[in-house]
């Protein structure tokens, strides 16, 4: 698992002056599309480190995680800075899946994309798992992913109290074995809702 600091790479989503609760409540929302001036050098170093780690990995499974999602159908939606710079690296180096949080739900997004250099295509899976504290039913950015790319989303429907904690959370349980890796998506009441399986890189899958 390669863990990234996406706030350094893309910037923060809020502009907070001060440390009080009121500072947070009245903070300005921002759309982070690149590092702030004080993080430019750190971001450049991290991008170099990311490609170095990905290119040198010989692991059977290669998962990458960061707080911000690359793709999401929920409240915050996709992050352009990660679509533009991180996603091509994940595809280039055959990463199994990208894990994120930020949006308070569970999602599995699966996108096949043609390669510009030849007639082949690459596949990437995006797992959003940010519902430990509460769950958000938003589908605000549903139209930002290709048709049929969203394989699973929980919860669905509408709950006016979800953002203040009056909702059940959700979580993912992962098991990684030599032959395959399974992800089990559970509600906060431990009800199994969805399962998906990944296979070792560069080895034929048996399904």
31-40, 51-60, 185-194: range with lowest mean pLDDT: 31-40
Architecture of domain 2-167: 4-Layer Sandwich (3.60)
Contact 128, 101 (CB under 8 A): yes
Helix ranges (H only) for 6-77 are 6-10, 21-25, 40-56
pLDDT in tens, 96-154: 999 999 888 999 999 998 887 777 889 999 999 988 877 777 778 778 888 899 999 98
Return the pLDDT at 28: 55
pLDDT in tens, 65-103: 999 999 998 877 889 999 999 999 999 999 999 999 988
Contact 2, 64 (CB under 8 A): yes
Spatial CB neighbours of 73, under 8 Å, sequence gap ≥ 6: 107, 109, 139, 140, 141, 142, 144, 145, 150, 153
CB atoms within 10 A of CB 177: 9
Contact 134, 169 (CB under 8 A): yes
Stretch 166-190: mean pLDDT = 90
């Amino acid at each position: 698992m390669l863990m990234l600091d996406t706030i350094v790479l893309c910037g923060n989503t809020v502009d907070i002056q001060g440390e009080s609760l009121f500072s947070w409540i009245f903070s300005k929302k921002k759309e982070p599309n690149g590092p702030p001036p004080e993080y430019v050098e750190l971001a450049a170093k991290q991008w170099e480190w990311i490609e170095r780690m990905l290119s040198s990995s010989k692991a059977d499974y290669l998962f990458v995680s960061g707080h911000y999602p690359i793709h999401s159908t929920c409240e915050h939606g996709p992050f352009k800075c990660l679509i533009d710079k991180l996603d091509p690296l994940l595809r280039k180096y055959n990463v199994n899946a990208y894990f994120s949080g930020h949006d308070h739900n569970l999602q599995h997004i699966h996108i096949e994309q043609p390669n510009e250099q030849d007639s082949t295509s690459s596949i990437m899976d995006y797992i959003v798992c940010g519902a430990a504290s509460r769950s958000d039913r938003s589908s605000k950015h549903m139209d930002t992913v290709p048709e049929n790319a969203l394989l699973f989303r929980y919860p669905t429907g509408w709950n006016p109290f979800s953002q203040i904690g009056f909702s059940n959370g959700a979580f993912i349980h992962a098991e990684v074995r030599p032959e395959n890796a399974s992800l089990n998506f559970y509600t906060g009441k431990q009800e199994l809702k969805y399962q998906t399986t990944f296979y070792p890189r560069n080895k034929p899958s048996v399904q």
